[in-house]
Chain A
Amino acid sequence: MTSNKTPLYQQHIEAGAKIVDFSGWQMPIHYGSQLEEHHVVRQSAGVFDVSHMNVVDLNGSGSKSFLQHLLANDVEKLTVPGKALYSCMLTENGGIIDDLIVYFMNQDWYRVILNAGTHDKDMAWIRQQLQNFTDATLTERPELAMLAIQGPKAIGAFTSLLPADAAAKVSELAVFQACELDDMFVGRTGYTGEDGVEVILAAEAAVDIWQKLMDVGVKPIGLGARDTLRLEAGMALYGLDMDETTSPLVSGLAWTVAWQPETRDFNGRKALETEKQNGPGQRMVGLLLTGKGVLRSHQQVQFADGGNGQITSGSFSPTLARSIALARVPATVKTGDVCEVDIRGRLVPAVVVKYPFVRNGKAVIEIEQV
């Protein structure tokens, strides 16, 4: 396996990071305590190096119609320059090849952010799909670094480093909206359930901004906390909560499928329509463990009526001080239903809850209900 390093590798080492292999990238899992880092993002401001993510640009007048075919969500919704859209990219069978964010910059430019772990298959698929389209050019941007600055104090800390006009521009960004500054691309997006920005910029500028963020008290946050933060925020993770064998309809992502207009022929549409007509047999729910232990991926979930499902991702929730999970269960399961989870041979009680579990630093599920 190749071993890639981001431009910030040296900064991670200096900050005391424990480095792990993540899809061929040498990435920080934590800088001492994953729990402390989690709380920093919920309460203050932290910065993640997410330069391993795959940034690609689509240019040309044919980009829009190409993306309307490639993606289950519809870029037609994007009319304001800088506006972003979350979407799945599907196989003909409706399975999820990857989930991504696409930014509309202008009629001739869309920027797409995909997962690192799916890079090779994503690129092969997109290039193959492109062969049927004209006036759309794909450019990978591996030279660009990416930082996610997240937490209630993130935007304040980040804008304190910018000239006044740039700071104003960033402060005024709507959620899921990006703007271009002189030397960086700033979007008000994230994967934590907190306010914040994701910044795409050249390697040297990334090192500079990273250091300045440290100087104003923003803490480095590893990929470990990124996982517990996104799970609390109820955000699906590719490879665990979804993959090519599952459709958006059974992955809690039906809201990302744009059915209208009916004439839009996107990859996977026919399969999804059939699945929708038959009624998907499963759905994604949140679980809150009421007994003792920690929910983990692949654990079996059993319901009183004999139905069963499986946890797709689970962990300890630092904000709730309880274990939580996303689980794929029979479609008949309802919020409030109780179940038992097989944790290493022990059957431990849990309850079905609506997710997200946590948003903007606060629990949004009622622990008292259990």
Chain B
Amino acid sequence: MSNVPQELRYTQSHEWVLAGDDGQVTVGITDHAQELLGDMVFIELPEMGAELDAGDECTVVESVKAASDVYAPVAGTVVAVNEKLVDAPELINEDPYGDGWMFRLQIADPSQLDSLLDASAYEVVESED
């Protein structure tokens, strides 16, 4: 069974979101998603400073098997990207909720977070996959 940490929020498209106190959120893909995609070999991260709308395709991850888009879970400005992944995309497989984080957004409207899934709702999404 894949790992679904209780403290995170999730999307239908398998991103996780960690909300900080500073109006910033950290985004990555779930354990379930990395398992489905298999060994990661390439990532194209968003540009720093990019203004994203919720649902924008902003990152591409490629596993040995296939390319896959990662979507912005909420609207915001890219304030950090995990450059480590460029040379070590396998971190996404090894530690999807830790060293495998992808980017951080400064969000204008924290109420957007309410529309995301909680852990138990995401477990249902997973089980239907």
State which of A30, A292, A344 has its C-beta within 8 Å of the C-beta of B38.
A30
Q: Which of B42, B62, B65 is within 8 Å of A34, CB to CB? A: B65
Check: A224 CB closer than 8 A to any chain B CB.
Answer: yes
Jot down 16 A-B pairs with beta carbons below 8 A, ordered by A. A29-B65, A30-B38, A33-B38, A34-B38, A34-B39, A35-B39, A224-B38, A292-B44, A293-B44, A294-B62, A296-B66, A316-B41, A316-B62, A316-B64, A318-B64, A344-B67
Kindly report which residue of chain A lies nearest to residue B66, judged by CB atoms.
A296
Q: A224-B64, A316-B64, A318-B64 are in contact. Are A294 and B42 (CB under 8 A)?
A: yes
- Per-residue CB proximity of B61-74 to A under 8 Å, as 1/0? 01011110000000
Best-buried of A29, A228, A316 by chain B (most CB within 10 Å): A316
Q: How far is the CA of A35 from the CA of B66 in the complex (A)?
A: 14
Q: Do B60 and A344 touch across chains, with their CB atoms under 8 A apart?
A: yes
User: Helix, strand, loop or mixed for chain B's interface?
Assistant: strand
Complex contacts, A33 vs chain B, CB 8 Å: 38-39
Q: Return the contact of B62 from the options A29, A30, A224, A293 (Cβ within 8 A).
A: A293
Instruction: Establish whether residues A315 and B64, one from each chain, have CB atoms under 8 Å apart when the complex forms.
Output: yes
- Pairwise interchain contact A292-B42, C-beta atoms closer than 8 A: yes
Q: Number of B interface residues, CB 8 Å?
A: 11
Residue of A with least CB distance to B90: A35
| Chain B residues close to A by CB (< 8 Å) | 38-39, 41-42, 44, 60, 62, 64-67
Please name all residues of chain B whose beta carbon is closer than 8 Å to the beta carbon of A315 when the two chains form the complex. Answer: 64
Cβ-defined contact, A296 with B67, below 8 A: yes
Which A-chain residue is minimally distant from B38 (CB atoms)?
Answer: A34
* A292, B67: Cα distance in complex, Å: 13
CB neighbours of B67 from chain A (8 A):
294, 296, 344
**Which chain A residues border B44 with CB–CB below 8 Å?**
292-293
A197–B65 CA distance with the chains assembled, in angstroms: 26
In Å, the complex CA distance between A228 and B39 comes to: 13
